[in-house]
Structure 1
């Protein structure tokens, strides 16, 4: 039996190769994966043209996944460096790579990513429209926007961030509700400017059927972007953010009718006490579609440490329903991240995701911790290093301050509680 998308296959009762891969990774029956795919509560971003892809699932009851943002800019434009960052991120067990390039030969970089990456890939086509056509924002045509979307789909990109919910109604909410940081989404700001200068509706909202046809043709998952996400704690959970979310929920149902998979992008800066409510509102308004969040960052005063502020928010968000965490590096708000920044961001986000999986009761999540605890109880240092989320750093710290008694560490020495209690 033929099928057009993973969702179409799931509705027809067909088990795909990617569903089997997800079931194996999650240690779940493949029928559970198929059923959740058919309902839209799980997605498997898997473009038909991404041949090297190993299927990963995002959504209800699955492990929390993490995404890594990369890409070249006008000030820092080295494709080879970004490819190396991507390979490094994959080795550090990132579940997805997102190309946010805004300058140069973006097509070359995108194709290299597709060739080397077994993990799912995402892009924001609006960025590329600005980069490739060399036009003012106002002069970019509707066909220009859609030609870039088609190109990215043909190239093998698995999920596309499209800010289709930023329509005229959403803009009214922005204009009537003063914000401290206005619009902080790059894609959202481009479309906002285009709409105001042309006095027209968002082309992706007005021509949503055209967008769905492209996605259906290549089996691209729509990541419905949050063009009005809060860029400060003060703007969190405000009327513009919620208005856009309502529209995204409506667009989700339209996509499902065409068997197009959907994720919803969520907020970036949210106070701790509002995170749980944000997750619950999203799941309610968007009918249980998987939720993809940037952080969220829980305080605005820590430039240079935003991998920590976002990991705090990410752990809470995932505990309360977020399915996909976009990493934040120490360079957030400051510059393009280096390889070391990428590493710090990935490790922090993986810790957040794993902590949330334990809290959610994801099958087998706590087993890793139990094995580490057993190694600590046995004072088995080699096993501890083997199980560490970042063995390199653990070994470096241990080697930097060696104890006289190799069985213990320099924190406690002869007063090591584990060694003393065992001896007693």
Structure 2
């Protein structure tokens, strides 16, 4: 094998087995996938040590992918429950799982996750540093942070969120902005605190070349984290967000020079009327690198329903250029999600992603919708359930109130529009008052 990373292989015109699988999944010619990866418009996160991986591509011209966040915290450290969430996420078709565990020795959970998951695995090494190193934040050195990145890479992590764009300069911009919600990125806030307490530059920025060397060795895709993403609609599109985005564009090119694949992370909260312009701006500033967004949440007043505020924003974002949606659950801002929260978040994100793929005119995106519409016309309930994103729920709702006429549901009964039209077109009469 005369290449280290998927990007290096693509630049040399080599079709890897992972590229071939992605081309098949996306119904694209293999050469098209090679060209997209070589240009950086598509990333194919595939750590050489993640042997259970079913490869996926993320980027322009491909199906919109979704990520599920999982992991333990100090207050909720039930590994068995987290693995139940993993199984649920895989069952409902997630493309990636991020282990955001932030308490104790998290590598036991992460190693098992990598061993059994066909979905891409991502992490945020900054979260793990304190537990892994058993040091207080202010006592951690730049070399310590690099050790954590290397440990995650060796274990088989496919992509890592690294907040390399928050610098001493961007911190000054942030302070002058006087935000309503300050810094809401967990990793970003920890780096900000470390920089302020030590007086040092961001270690991931200062030692970016070394970070890239580690990632290149294992073919880990860098997901350039947006430490200064807006945490409220009030703060969206402000100077803090945009100044960091400009820096992320520069860091993207530096990574590509080292043949490290790149994903760029985007805003968390944003009013609907700003989303499309932000997607275009990101693609311009970050040279069409794949864009990964958390939502964005389009209003701040719906705790308990933020899977909906996120799906609205995600559909608009993906229609206008975002390539990768991070799910948001009803528990966002409130607690670690339970199993039902995870399911609701996945379904909402899949709806948003699929709706965007239809709007973008991706080949074949509308095909399943056409099949569903045809099944509805024919009142073929079994086929409808098989085509639904959540067929189990659809069946449960339908069967909860049965009607005298099995052709219809309890909403319309004998007045079912489909049945009425079908009968008339068949030359039959309809009778509404008969038992």
The TM-score range, normalised by the shorter chain, is over 0.9
Q: Take 1:414 and 1:91, find their aligned partners in 2: how far apart are those partners?
A: 36
TM-score normalised to the size of structure 1? 0.99
**1:223 alignment counterpart:** 223
Q: Distance in 2 between matches of 1:143 and 1:92?
A: 39
Write the distance in 2 (CA, Å) between the matches of 1:105 and 1:134. 9
| Structure 1 position 91, deviation (Å) | 1.2
CA distance in 2, matches of 1:56, 1:360: 19
Output the CA distance in 1 between the equivalents of 2:91 and 2:417: 36
After superposition, the C-alpha distances for 1:110-146 in whole angstroms (9 at most, x for unaligned) are: 1010111011000000010022223221111111100
Q: Distance in 1 between matches of 2:130 and 2:304?
A: 29
CA offsets 1:196-255 (integer angstroms, 9 cap, x no match)? 111111001010000000011000000000000000000001000000000000000000
Residue 422 in structure 1 maps to residue 422 in structure 2: yes
Structure 1 counterpart SS, 2:135: coil
Matching residue of 1:374: 374
In structure 1, distance between residues paired with 2:204 and 2:134: 20
Q: Whose radius of gyration is greater, 1 or 2? A: 2
- Is the partner of 1:216 in helix, strand or coil? helix
TM alignment of 1:14-413, pairs within 5 A: 14-413=14-413
Provide the aligned C-alpha RMSD in A. Answer: 0.7
Partner-residue secondary structure (3-state), 1:50: coil
Q: How much does 1:7 deviate?
A: 0.1
Q: Distance in 2 between matches of 1:336 and 1:45?
A: 27
Q: Distance in 1 between matches of 2:294 and 2:234?
A: 17
Q: Secondary structure at the match of 1:362?
A: coil
Distance in 2, matches of 1:87 and 1:143, equals: 36
Preserved CA contact (<8 Å) 1:77 1:104: no
Distance in 1 between the 2:260 and 2:132 partners? Answer: 27
3-state SS, counterpart of residue 37 of structure 1 = helix
Alignment deviations for residues 134-170 of structure 1 (CA, whole Å, 9 cap, x no partner):
3221111111100000000000000000000001111
Q: In 2, distance between residues paired with 1:326 and 1:378?
A: 36
CA distance in 2, matches of 1:87, 1:81: 10
Moved more, 126-135 or 295-304: 126-135
Alpha-carbon distance between aligned partners in 1 of 2:102 and 2:61, rounded to the nearest angstrom: 35
SS of the counterpart of 2:138? coil
What secondary structure, in the 3-state scheme, does the structure 1 residue paired with 2:264 have?
strand
Give 1:104 deviation, angstroms. 2.1
Kindly tell me the number of residue pairs found equivalent between the two proteins.
424
Q: Give SS of 2:184's match.
A: coil
5+ residue gaps, structure 1: none
Structure-2-length-normalised TM-score: 0.97
Q: How far off is 1:343 after superposition?
A: 0.4
**1:259-309 deviation line (CA, Å, top 9, x unaligned):** 000000000000000000110110000000000000110000000000000
1:358-398 CA distance string (max 9 Å, x none): 00011100000000000000011111111111011101111
Question: Residue by residue, what CA displacement relative to the aligned partner does 1:23-66 show, whole Å, maximum 9, x if unpaired?
Answer: 01101111100000000000000001101111100001000000
Task: Decide whether the 8 Å contact of 1:83 with 1:112 is kept in 2.
Answer: no
